[in-house]
Structure 1
Amino acid sequence: MFQEVLGAYGLNVEKLTTEPFGSGLINHTWKVYGDGVAYILQEVNTEVFREPLNIARNIEAIKKYLDQTAPKYLFVAPISALNGDDFVVIDDHFYRIFPFVENSCSVDFVQEPEQAYHAAKQFGKFTRMLGAFNVNQLKPTILDFHNLPLRVEQFKVALENAGDARKAEAKFAIEEIIRLYEIEEQYVHMVDSGALNPRVIHHDTKISNVLLQVETGIGLCVIDLDTVMPGYFISDVGDMMRTYLSEANEEERDINKIAIREDVFAAIHKGYMEEMDSVLSFAEKQFFIYAGKFMIYMQAVRFITDFLNGDVYYKTSYPEHNLVRGLNQLDLLNKYMAKEARFEEIVKQINADRVNDPKKILN
């Protein structure tokens, strides 16, 4: 496979080393290097991305726009094969190659607030730079990816059809999801009222999707652009809240290890709003804190729905895996909501600091 794929790009596989790279869970990724060159080779998971050509068209349209409006911006787009195609297709498998960005690195977990700050700044910058881009040019790469009403409806159907044993096991989680239906109701109201503006949104803002400069840790750019499509800013902000705030991730079984880091929340707000403060409407800014509830709740709903359905979507390692994940997210959500008043204070202080010293970043 490697010889055929790399040959389509004019690369000699005999002079190159190919090894697995990164921690992504969707696509298969390798680093290809040697003979003075380095690339990232990736196979797109077409079980998740059923229309890979939509990905290629989206990236091409964004690249063309940024080349014209921000030619110095580091936009890591795939390299065309010798025949000019975006993908090399072998036995219905879709492969592509990216340039490897030297002196860059990524991290899998937020270890310090500065990392959250630089990541949030890069995701905000990406959306800001595409503020005048016609978002209608982009095609959905995963239909209904962050459609919370759909996820809640799927939960209701799963609950109706689930066996008694599964419902009994998930009793507490089910009660929590129902108790918090207001999160979905608020989302519907926001969308119906026009309070949220469609924008170019990354939709997968985990920390590993930002390249950092090796020596300084400063953010360079965002990567993994397959989920870039029209959406609302709460998706990107919410996913950062969900994946950055607690050192314990969604796989943690001990909920006592789940804790909200206020300094990381502050870093996310500072970084994102330094780029997006002039872009977001007054109404949108009121939903910055809500964004965390939106994404954490939706992920909890999805995990519990899959558990009730018999674990048909997410890969599991043990029988209660999806239930544990769902309870994990519900605990994170409750701890997040308990901090809302404190978050409001933090936002007010950041805004005051910005007025008093616009260049102020982190204490």
Structure 2
Amino acid sequence: MTLEQDIAAAFDLGGRIVHVRPYGHGLINDTFVVSVDTGHRTILQRINRHVFPRPEQIMDNLRTLTDHIRRRQTGDKTAARELQLPRIFSTRDGKDSVVDAHGGFWRAMGFVENTYTLETIADASQAEEVGFALGRFHTLIHDLDPARLHETLPGFHNAPNYLLRFTEAAVRRRETPDNAELRHCLAFVETRRNLADALETPRREEKLPIRPIHGDTKLNNFLFDAESGRTVSLIDLDTVQPGLIHFDIGDCLRSCANPAGESPGNLAAIRFDLDICHALLKHYFSEARAFLTPYDHHYIYDGIRLIPFELGLRFLTDHLEGNHYFKTDWPGQNLYRALAQFALTSSIERNEARIRSLIKGLEA
């Protein structure tokens, strides 16, 4: 019996385990799908303790979040649609997790059946569905006291801290091969150092409130119903914690509004698609307008620009530090990822006036 099978057997999954297989292409956690003889499937994950040093806090947050959303959706009789959240499975002795002999932290979550994910947006209707789901999610949790949530990733989306770490890594680097791509990335960051404070400054000035956020709103975390094509769930909730909704909006558009996708084969194909941006934000606002403030609207462009820059900065720093955080399949992959995010940042900057005009037109 493999370790994964042994761990799966510790959870009460409602049937006899048929097989356990690797699942997905996540960069952080190790994920498996467990099938039981009743036909049901479950997601089994080993949480990366290097990234999440206190994984038990993730489970506390999930309980708090799912309970709050369940109460909100039960009490809201006017909502035409609900979001499904993955079920948390307990172990046979009533716990939320299993710790193996090597200290690995495991949890089991429900598999949302008859759904699919996307790697790129094909048309405006898909963008509308993503905008609806993110707006609905924020609406459901905006009144959850953020103090009730743990910071599962302290400093996550703290761009000034990422910039500081990058600066230290750039000074220390000794074994990273020098090339034109690396020099381009280093210069790109140097000319945009002030961008790191784009959201931190208004947060300190209390123009932007801290609220619960998802924290990782890339496109493939939205589940689409196999029959209707409508979004039914938002998954990968490990990064739910207090933050700015602009982090979620920016990350969502970073992922969705780049037709070249997360891992483009051709960097020249990367661009920020204004039509996708418009469709997504239109339906986001239709769901979330009731709680958004004028300052929320004002800083949306800044979030759209900041997040790809921030992610590129993180990829570049990891490249300089030896690829300790993001999984890589080949040498230089994190540098390539940084190049991709910086190319997207440049496209956003070239379209600043049009993006700001688009947002302004959707505010009413």
Give the TM-score normalised by structure 2.
0.88
Which residue number in structure 1 is paired with residue 148 of structure 2? 137
Q: Deviations over 1:63-90 (max 9, x none)?
A: 2223333236522231222211001222
Aligned position for 2:272: 260
Change (3 A) 1:17 1:69: same
Match of 2:88, SS state, is coil
1:188-242 deviation line (CA, Å, top 9, x unaligned): 3212211111111001011111121111111112111111000101110111121
The amino acid of 2:156's aligned partner reads F
Matches within 5 A, 1:289-300: 289-300=301-312
Residue-by-residue CA offset, 1:126-184 (whole Å, 9 max, x unaligned):
12111221110111111211110001111222222234975664322222211112212
SS of corresponding position for 2:199: helix
Q: Secondary structure at the match of 2:84?
A: coil
1:312/1:106 CA distance change after superposition, 3 Å: closer
Q: 2:69 aligns with which of 60, 66, 69?
A: 66
Report SS of the residue matched to 1:225. Answer: coil
Structure 2 Cα separation of the partners of residues 309 and 288 of structure 1: 31
Q: Say if 2:226 is the partner of 1:214.
A: yes
State the alpha-carbon separation in 2 of the partners of residues 158 and 300 from structure 1: 14
Give 2:211's aligned residue: 199
Which residue does the alignment assign to 1:19?
21
User: 2:294 aligns to what?
Assistant: 282
Q: Deviations over 1:29-86 (max 9, x none)?
A: 2222332433222222222221110001111112222333323652223122221100
The AA in structure 2 aligned to 1:32 is V
- 2:189–2:313 CA contact under 8 A, matched in 1: yes
| Partner in structure 2 of residue 226 of structure 1 | 238
> Is residue 186 of structure 2 the alignment partner of residue 174 of structure 1?
yes
CA distance in structure 2 between the partners assigned to 1:86 and 1:188 by the alignment: 35
* 1:240 and 1:268 in contact (8 A); partners too: no
The one-letter code matched in structure 2 to 1:327 is: L
Residues 218 and 256 in structure 2, CA contact (< 8 A), matched pair in contact too: yes
Whether the 8 Å contact between 1:26 and 1:45 is mirrored in structure 2 is yes
Q: Which residue identity lines up with residue 148 of structure 2 in the other structure?
A: Q
Distance in 1, matches of 2:232 and 2:13, equals 27
Moved over 6 A (4+): none
Aligned to 1:128: 139
Structure 2 counterpart of 1:50, one-letter code: P
Is 1:188 paired with 2:200? yes
Q: 1:79 to 1:11 in 2, by over 3 A?
A: closer
Give the one of 114, 119, 123 matched to 1:112.
123
Conserved 8 A contact 1:206-1:244: yes
Aligned residue runs from structure 1 range 304-343, under 5 A: 304-343=316-355
1:32 is aligned to 2:13: no
The one-letter amino acid of 2:34's match is V
What is the CA RMSD across the aligned residues, in angstroms? 2.4
1:358 — aligned with what?
none
In structure 1, what is the equivalent of residue 77 of structure 2?
A: none
Aligned-pair distance for 1:12?
7.8
Gaps of 5+ in 2: 75-81
Q: TM-score, normalised by structure 1?
A: 0.88
Partners in 2 of 1:279 and 1:165 — Cα distance? Answer: 47
Gaps of 5+ in 1: 356-363
